[in-house]
Every structure is written in structure tokens, then in C-alpha cells.
Amino acid sequence: MQAYLAEFIGTMMLVLLGDGVCCNVSLNKSGMKGGGTVHILIGWGMAVMVPAFTFGAMSGAHFNPAVTIGLAIRGGLAWGLVPGYIIAQMLGGFCGAAILMVLYGDHIKATDDDATIRGCFCTGPSIRNTVLNFLSEFVATFVLVFTLASIPGDAGASGVSWVLVYGVIVACGASFGGLTGYAMNAARDSAPRFAYQVLGPNKGKKDPDWAYGWIPAVAPICGGIVASLLWMAVFA
């Protein structure tokens, strides 16, 4: 239960800080509106690193079903723990988004475009192409999971591993973020997307866009599985 609680709170913090950056630079009347892509890259990297520092020793700081499943494939986590991890992550992602909707409530009211509001909580493609959108999320998560698996186990004792995680997140965003928003994580995308669907305002064209939303849920898991299998083939 301690590990599940760590995954719940950690994922909630990740979404609070990560989607909070998006709210900060996108919503009307925010003091940092227009902060830009570099602001978002730095903020999202920190959003993953900060809770990882806090909860890494308790749960491994997955905060991502793709990471959890990948670790189980590599033998680093019992399969019996996987459902509890994923449920905790998804609940944490939903709660983080819900809190942001309260904190930024006035700014959401001041923003007339439903798509802008939705974009603060979940990702979308710059060009809608199902095959390439899926491949983008697959490749980005492959890089994430393969790299995380390659970080030495004893690096976590000094906290160095979490700094390396920051570097991976920023690198993936800098290279792939312009394609689909580099979700790489159903708990960061599907859970806040559902929170937007049930809690977000309707400015006239509210659409959680599940027609695309299945991609950042499924493609990262596929990328994480392939990354773990290849990692074992190369290093195990």
C-alpha cells in the first residue's frame, strides 16, 4: 500500500506540475501566458524529477503504466503489483487535473476556446495522421523506457538517477514534442483527458477527442514493451 500511495501522490504531483505549466502559459489572464515551448520543456522535466526525488525509494517512481509494465517484463517488479500501480497512477492523474481546474478556474473561465483548455490537460497531434501519431508516441516512449532501464541501479542512492530522468524527459520533448505533445504516459494523458471530459467547462465545442486519445494510451505501452524486450536482448 505504501508503494501504491507513492504512485498515487507522485503521479498527482507530476500532473499538477506538468499540466500546471501548460495552464500557466496557455490560459488567458495568466501572468505567464505565452511563456513558450522552452518554458514547457523545462517545466515538464522538473514535473517528473521532483516527485521522483520524493517517492523513488518508496515505489521506484514510475508514475507511468508504460514504465511499470516495462519493468515487470524485465523482472524488476512482480506482475501481481502491476494492476495496483496502474490504478494508483490513473487516479493520481485524474486528481491532479481536477485540482488544477480549481486553481485555474478563473483563467479557464476567461479562455473561450475549448481546444486550448483541453490542451492544458492532454495532448494532441500537430498533424492528424493515425499511423505517424502512433509511431511518434511509440518511439518517444521507447527512448524513455530503454534509457530508464539503462540507468545504473545504484545511481538512485545518490539521487543522480532522477537528474538523468529529467534529461530524458527534456530530450524527448525537444525532439518529439512538436509532433504529438510527447505524452508517453496514459496516466499523464488519459486520466487528465477524462477529468476534462467530466469536469471541464463547455464553451460550445467541448470534445475530449478520444478519437485520438487512444493513441497516447496504447502506443506508449507498446513502445515500453518493445524497449524492454530489446534491452534484455542487448544487456541481459
Tell me the domain boundaries of the chain.
Answer: 2-235
Mean pLDDT (whole number) for 178-188: 97
pLDDT band at residue 182 under the 50/70/90 scheme: very high
pLDDT band at residue 71 under the 50/70/90 scheme: very high
CATH 1.20.1080.10 assigned to 2-235: yes
Neighbours of 203 (CB within 10 A): 15
Contact (Cβ atoms closer than 8 angstroms) between residue 124 and residue 137: no
Res. 139: pLDDT tops 70: yes
Phi, psi of 62 (to 5 degrees): -75, -60
pLDDT band at residue 158 under the 50/70/90 scheme: low
- Burial of 163: CB neighbours in 10 Å, binned 0-12, 13-18, 19+: middle
What single letter denotes the amino acid at residue 164? L
Structure confidence at residue 142 (pLDDT): 98
Mean pLDDT (whole number) for 177-206: 97
Contact (Cβ atoms closer than 8 angstroms) between residue 216 and residue 182: no
**Burial letters for 164-201: b for 16+ Cβ neighbours within 10 Å, e otherwise?**
bbbebbbbbbeebbebbbbbbbbbbbbbbbbbbbeebe
Res. 136: pLDDT tops 90: yes
Question: Can you tell me the distance from the alpha carbon of 178 to that of 146, in angstroms, rounded to the nearest whole number?
Answer: 21
Res. 106: pLDDT tops 70: yes
Cell 469536469 sits at which residue? 199
Question: Can you tell me the distance from the alpha carbon of 89 to that of 74, in angstroms, rounded to the nearest whole number?
Answer: 20
